[in-house]
Structure 1
Amino acid sequence: MDLSKLTQDISVTGQLTPKDMALVKSLGFASVICNRPDGESADQPLFESISSAGALLDLETHYLPISSGSQVPEQVHALKELWPELPKPVLFYCRSGARSAALVDAALTTGLV
């Protein structure tokens, strides 16, 4: 897993699998946010399987998908609503981490998180 720490409470990474959730927990994360839409790739695990694996480890998970190449205003707004209640630190993921980093950057730039 290739993590990029963006702030004290926020890191991003590429695609996670259900097996990765134990490592995510061991690294100290309390929440995981998926920014990759289900079905984007045939070999991609569904968010439900990652969420189920996280639940077994007491990790909070949320689904805020961003289509490749799309803008993120709706997801920034959803993140703004979710952020105050979200256990920290938070790991965001998508296919490569780029969409997640763009979402976090937009939220930080506007002062929403």
Structure 2
Amino acid sequence: MDIRTIDDTISVAPQISVEDVAEAARLGFKTLVANRPDQEEYGQPAMADIEAAARENGLDWVYMPVESGNITDQDVEHFAPMIRDAEKPVLAFCRSGTRCTVLWALSAARSMPAREIIDKARNAGYDISGLAPRLAQQSQDKD
């Protein structure tokens, strides 16, 4: 399992296996978030199996599928309160971890400078510098 820490509240990972869930719990994660649609790709583990493992290992489970390459403002509107209210630390996963990172970044833009967001993502291995204009827009849309 390739866990990439963004900050002390959230880490992201590429697709995890059912077996990885116990390790995530052992590492101290409290909430597991799936941002990948079920059956997005042939051979990926069923989300129902990962959910069962999460519950079996005492993790809160959130299934919030998002279409790859098409993260909408509505997706961010759902992700922001979920991540704010989730028991932490959170481990979010998708195919590569990028979707989760982008969702986090766009929701964090409401309370954190874009440069800090881009740096945190880069430190976790994700270059989201191309999102700078959208991060600025999210910052302007603060509540």
Residue 103 of structure 1: aligned partner:
103
Counterpart CA distance in 1 for 2:71 and 2:106 is 10
* One-letter amino acid of the structure 1 residue matched with residue 9 of structure 2: D
Residue 84 of structure 1, CA deviation: 4.2
Question: Once structures 1 and 2 are overlaid, which stretch shifts more, 70-79 or 60-69?
Answer: 70-79
Runs of 5+ consecutive residues of structure 1 not aligned to the other structure: none
Counterpart CA distance in 2 for 1:71 and 1:85 is 21
By percentage of residues, which structure has more helix?
Answer: 2
Aligned CA-pair RMSD: 1.4
Residue 8 of structure 1, CA deviation: 0.9
TM-score normalised by the chain length of structure 1: 0.92
The answer as to 2:114 corresponding to 1:91 is: no
Counterpart CA distance in 2 for 1:79 and 1:22 is 24
Structure having the higher Rg:
2
Residue 29 of structure 1: aligned partner:
29
Counterpart CA distance in 2 for 1:82 and 1:92 is 12
Given that 2:13 and 2:93 are in contact with CA atoms closer than 8 Å, whether structure 1 keeps it comes out as yes
Counterpart CA distance in 2 for 1:15 and 1:53 is 14
Identical aligned residues as a percent: 32
TM-score normalised by the chain length of structure 2: 0.73
Residue 11 of structure 2: aligned partner:
11
The answer as to 2:43 corresponding to 1:48 is: no
Counterpart CA distance in 2 for 1:107 and 1:81 is 9
Residue 76 of structure 1, CA deviation: 1.6
Residue 60 of structure 2: aligned partner:
60
DSSP-derived class of the 2:36 partner: coil
* One-letter amino acid of the structure 2 residue matched with residue 59 of structure 1: L
DSSP-derived class of the 2:8 partner: coil
Given that 1:13 and 1:94 are in contact with CA atoms closer than 8 Å, whether structure 2 keeps it comes out as yes
Q: Which has the higher contact order (CA 8 A, sep 6+)?
A: 1
Counterpart CA distance in 2 for 1:10 and 1:25 is 14
Moved over 4 A (4+): none
Counterpart CA distance in 2 for 1:64 and 1:106 is 15
